[in-house]
A and B are shown apart, each in its own frame.
Chain A
Amino acid sequence: MTDSSLHMLLVEPETLLRRTVSLTARSLGLGMVHEAASVEAARRLLGQRHFDGAVIAVECVESEGERRYDMTLVELIRQGLTISDADMPIAIMADRATAELVKELQGRGISRVILKPFRAKVLLEAIADFAGKQPA
């Protein structure tokens, strides 16, 4: 039996938001949303299966005296270091739009930037866009 569902990766630390999005996506037929609460968990999932798109919450971290957004997962995907297509659609969730974020996003082929407050509906709309279909 083949699996024709679209598989999306959602990387988001907040459990209730993550679970609401994954369960609702399934009930509305938007696809299977695989949940990861951390970059480490997402890395494992990216090494295990193919994804058709990803919604990734990125945190601003201090690195070598500079504030940078953690683009580890985006880099892994775009460099073809996962099982998924390197050009798969990616949406980024960030707390706010800053000059640092814009700099980090340049040239990385980000389909959409989602800013706080994060709402399940906005994430589901991004997933629906990836799936190329709208809920019934």
Chain B
Amino acid sequence: MQAAPLPDNEAERLAALYALLILDTPPEQRFYKIVEFASAEFDVPIALLTLVDRARQWFKASTGVDVCETGRDISFCGHAILARDIMVVPDALEDPRFADNPLVTGEPGIRFYAGAPLVLPSGAALGTLCLIDRRPRTLDAMELGILATLRDLAVLELGRAEGDADD
């Protein structure tokens, strides 16, 4: 297993994350709507809105899992925030970064992962909107476009004050 290296802007990234005052806050419908929509749209058992903290990834919204955080050292999202594009892992067992990851070899048995980084206008990637399946699969161009749009809507929500959502 390869733990993700830290982004070059890690200090600024963490400062931007902490400035939002969102870590460990209660569940919010506006974020749950997005992960539930993503889970149904892509027919995946797990969809998460993750925020990558110094040593953990914390889930602001989730469907299909009953934990609210995991260690950053085993997180897929720690890798996904290193790039601006969506990171797709069609089959984790075939990927040397993840093949022996405990999230792959044990629960929840990740095989497919697609993570769209939540990048603020400042360039700080705070976490991801990600899809997880227990079987190998991939996404076509249209599906990647839909995931990118949902990610953009999640970033907009992160920038809004609580209760400002229009729906």
Q: Which residues of A contact B (CB under 8 A)?
A: 15-17, 19-20, 23-24, 27-28, 117, 119-121, 124-125, 128, 135-136
Contacts and interface: CB of A to CB of B under 8 A. Distances in A.
Interface residues of B, number: 17
Contacts of B68: none
B153 A19 contact: yes
A136 B140 CA distance: 10
Contacts of B143: 121
Contacts of A28: 141-142, 145
Nearest to B167: A15
A20 B142 contact: no
A19 B143 CA distance: 15
Contacts, number: 48
A17 B145 CA distance: 14
Contact of B141 (A16, A23, A120, A136): A136
Contacts of A136: 141
A23 B167 contact: no
A13 to B, nearest CB: 10
Contacts of B149: 19-20, 23-24, 27
A20 B141 contact: no
A69 to B, nearest CB: 24
B37 A20 contact: yes
A135 B148 CA distance: 15
Interface centre among A120, A121, A124 (most CB of B within 10 A): A120
A135 B146 CA distance: 12
B166 A15 contact: yes
A19 B166 CA distance: 12
A136 B141 CA distance: 7
Interface string B126-153: 0000000000000001110110111011
B156 to A, nearest CB: 10
Nearest to A128: B142
Contacts of B150: 20
Nearest to B141: A135
13 contacts: A16-B34, A16-B153, A19-B153, A20-B41, A23-B149, A24-B146, A28-B141, A117-B40, A121-B41, A124-B145, A125-B142, A128-B142, A136-B141
Contacts of B33: 16
Contacts of B145: 24, 27-28, 124, 135
Contact of B41 (A19, A120, A125, A128): A120
A18 to B, nearest CB: 10
A17 B146 contact: no
Contacts of B148: 24, 27
A16 B29 CA distance: 12
